[in-house]
Amino acid sequence: MGYIYVGESARGRIIRYGAGMFTQIGDAYQLELRTWDQRPAGPIGEAVFRTIVGVLRHTAGYDVQITPVLDGVPLTPQRFTGGAPSAAKLEDVVQVEAIVFTPGTALGAIFESVSLPGELELIDLFATAPPVWGST
């Protein structure tokens, strides 16, 4: 018999479904995400990438790092931490920005949770670059 495995977005669990029941597999899991490369100036053009922006939702603080990957070469990881939301809020949404400011053809990123003080959700991850000649 086969099983279906589902990753839960907010609580870091992997759920196994089969034989009429759901079962959690292991404890909370660390998050690691590797993006596809962006090539805003085409396959051989060059752009000066500015930042990689991560938008996070958390319930008890966050401890994450972003490693820019420029033309296939990982750059220095940049770590971001923050405390729990104020007592009046159950969760908070924050934005972290890894600095790149380096020219290249392709930019990707590795986003990782370093520790999990509570629920952590990656809402968005994107890069900023200036407009390219001929773009609209």
DSSP string across 54-117: EEEEESS-EEEEEEEEETTEE---EEEEE-PPPTT-S-EEEEEEEEEEEEES-EEEEEEEEE-S
* pTM metric for this prediction: 0.77
Instruction: Give pLDDT tens digits for 24-69.
Output: 555 666 788 899 999 988 888 888 899 999 999 899 999 999 999 9
The one-character DSSP state at 17 is: E
Residue partners of 131: CB distance under 8 A and separation at least 6: none
- Domains of the chain plus CATH, in order, are 1-30 (no CATH), 31-128 (2.60.120)
pLDDT-above-70 percentage for the chain = 74
Q: Evaluate if residue 125 carries a pLDDT over 80.
A: yes
Q: Evaluate if residue 136 carries a pLDDT over 50.
A: no
Instruction: Give pLDDT tens digits for 61-76.
Output: 999 999 999 999 999 9
